[in-house]
């Protein structure tokens, strides 16, 4: 992996020079294809998403009992979509750009159980593992009422097994809380950037939190190593897991249904643009896959990364995928957007999704704080910094004439567009922490 000639790379991809200088950049992928052409590279299909959706339905009666806050959605972990028109006007004024169409926010920030997008993939992977163990032991059948998992019999069964994961915070929260609730012994290996309150919250749930002074890559490696020495330990691999990816992908069909209820049309003349904050890539990649399967070529997915951690852009732009890390070109991977503080992207997600993503852009930490303050001020919605990365997306797209022309986006179509910013976290940030975030905003 260290064979990469960095000087040559910088010459081949001039955009890298701006990235190294920590400038905000955007790149619209010239290799984007239709869904039909791109799908074979994903290696997964509609049936896989359906299986994931069915599994979540089987677990719903359990979740209602284990987490009563999920009762109002009958044990389905799903978030609201809201229109943020005051935010839209503010963005238009501040950036002096017209955003044609509607601006909506997908509030995964307020998903039950763990307050972030990780409540999709992380929880799904733990449930998948638990189901497999229980079925193998002859304790469970898929036709059973899964609320029986909320009993001492099952928690003592699961307590023989352990689960480990490496995390910048939110994945650890989802996996830690879910695993501990089922009865597993669970260790979360936390990178240096993980917030103290997240560690404390996990410990209060009985989770073993292991702290590192290094970044996410190191925390994952250590977690993986520890799990290798224990045959009863299952390591959740955020960098390569198809299961996590599928847990996220269920969001596509769910969003389609929400849009139907809201009378929002997505078709050739009513395009959908979705802006997804990207860390290692599993969350936004899985969601984008689900969206593509639900809306086909009428959805345009754009990933947002911090200027200090543009790992997916780096991997896909250069074609090196997980063969290069931002540190290799002198970018430090230190950002206030802790959920996105990842230096090396998932190779699995990059290779699977590169043809199905329209573009990428980077955003500075200060801009995330400013958008955080603005959203709070005009919409009274509070998010964590990572979750604001997507908020610049409508501005970036509206200012990219070349891209819009390439995808044949006429002004007529744009006038009917729906812009959906995926708010990925922040619902459980304690008030004192939120005050600190808000104090960093300039507005």
Would you say 238 or 253 has its CB closer to ligand PLP? 238
Q: What is the DSSP letter of 344?
A: S
Per CB under 6 A, the list member of 339, 343, 350, 359 interacting with ligand PLP is 339
CA 204: distance to chain centroid? 25
Nearest to 29 by CA among 391, 328, 407, 345: 407
Rounded-to-integer distance, Cα 334 and Cα 442, Å: 21
Burial of 7 (0-12, 13-18, 19+ CB in 10 A): exposed
Rounded-to-integer distance, Cα 443 and Cα 438, Å: 9
Per CB under 6 A, the list member of 281, 306, 343, 373 interacting with ligand PLP is 281
Q: Does residue 198 touch ligand PLP according to CB under 6 A?
A: no
Would you say 306 or 373 has its CB closer to ligand PLP? 306
Burial of 47 (0-12, 13-18, 19+ CB in 10 A): exposed
Per CB under 6 A, the list member of 325, 336, 340, 396 interacting with ligand PLP is 340
Work out how close the CB of 34 gets to ligand PLP at its nearest, in angstroms, rounded to a whole number.
24
Region 390-429 residues binding ligand PLP, contact defined as CB under 6 A: 424-425
Work out how close the CB of 424 gets to ligand PLP at its nearest, in angstroms, rounded to a whole number.
3
Region 98-137 residues binding ligand PLP, contact defined as CB under 6 A: 116-118
Would you say 48 or 174 has its CB closer to ligand PLP? 174
Please name every residue paired with 42 in a beta bridge, in sequence order, or none if there are none.
none
Stretch that binds ligand PLP, among 31-39, 334-342, 361-369, 411-419 (CB under 6 A): 334-342
Residues in the chain: 443
Question: Beta strand pairing status for 299-306 and 359-363?
Answer: parallel
Would you say 283 or 343 has its CB closer to ligand PLP? 283
Interior angle at CA 416, CA 423 and CA 264, nearest 5: 60
> How far, in Å, are 53, 121, 256, 413 from residue 293 at the CA level?
14, 17, 10, 21
Would you say 64 or 125 has its CB closer to ligand PLP? 125
Per CB under 6 A, the list member of 170, 174, 249, 400 interacting with ligand PLP is 170
Q: Does residue 310 touch ligand PLP according to CB under 6 A?
A: no
Contact between residue 236 and residue 122 where contact means Cβ atoms under 8 Å apart: yes
Q: Which residues bind ligand PLP (CB under 6 A)?
A: 116-118, 170, 277-284, 339-340, 342, 384, 386-387, 424-425
């Amino acid at each position: 992996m260290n064979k990469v000639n960095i000087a040559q790379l910088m010459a081949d991809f001039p955009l890298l020079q701006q990235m190294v200088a920590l400038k905000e950049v955007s790149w619209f992928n010239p290799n984007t294809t239709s869904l039909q052409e791109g799908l074979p590279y994903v290696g997964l299909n509609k049936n896989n998403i359906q299986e994931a959706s069915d599994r979540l339905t089987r677990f719903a009666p359990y979740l209602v009992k284990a987490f009563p806050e999920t009762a109002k959605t009958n044990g389905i972990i799903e978030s609201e979509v809201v229109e943020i028109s005051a935010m839209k006007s503010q963005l238009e004024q501040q950036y002096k750009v017209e955003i044609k169409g509607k601006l909506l926010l997908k509030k995964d920030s307020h998903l039950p159980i763990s307050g972030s997008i990780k409540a999709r993939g992380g929880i799904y992977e733990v449930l998948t593992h638990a189901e497999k163990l229980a079925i193998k032991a002859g304790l469970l059948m898929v036709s059973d009422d899964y609320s029986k998992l909320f009993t001492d019999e099952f928690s003592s069964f699961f307590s023989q097994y352990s689960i480990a994961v490496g995390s910048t915070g939110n994945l650890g929260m989802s996996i830690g809380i879910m695993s501990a609730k089922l009865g597993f012994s669970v260790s979360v290996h936390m990178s240096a950037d993980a917030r103290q309150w997240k560690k404390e919250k996990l410990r209060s749930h009985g989770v073993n939190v292991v702290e590192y002074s290094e970044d996410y890559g190191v925390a994952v490696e250590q977690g993986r190593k520890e799990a290798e020495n224990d045959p009863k330990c299952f390591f959740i691999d955020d960098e390569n897991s198809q299961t996590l990816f599928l847990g996220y992908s269920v969001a596509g069909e769910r969003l389609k249904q929400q849009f139907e209820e809201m009378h929002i049309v997505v078709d050739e003349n009513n395009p959908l643009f979705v802006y997804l904050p990207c860390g290692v890539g599993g969350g936004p990649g899985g969601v984008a896959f689900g969206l593509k399967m639900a809306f086909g070529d009428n959805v345009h997915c754009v990933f947002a990364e911090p200027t200090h951690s543009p790992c997916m852009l780096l991997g896909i732009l250069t074609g090196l995928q997980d063969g290069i890390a931002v540190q290799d070109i002198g970018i430090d991977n230190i950002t206030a957007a802790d959920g996105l503080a990842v230096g090396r992207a998932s190779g699995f997600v990059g290779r699977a999704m590169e043809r199905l993503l329209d573009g990428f852009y980077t955003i500075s930490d200060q801009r995330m704080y400013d958008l955080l303050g603005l959203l709070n001020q005009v919409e009274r919605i509070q998010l964590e910094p990572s979750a604001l990365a997507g908020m610049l997306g409508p501005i970036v797209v509206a200012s990219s004439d070349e891209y819009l022309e390439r995808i044949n986006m006429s002004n007529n179509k744009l006038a009917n567009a729906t812009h959906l910013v995926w708010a990925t976290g922040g619902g459980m940030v304690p008030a004192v922490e939120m005050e600190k975030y808000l104090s960093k905003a300039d507005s």
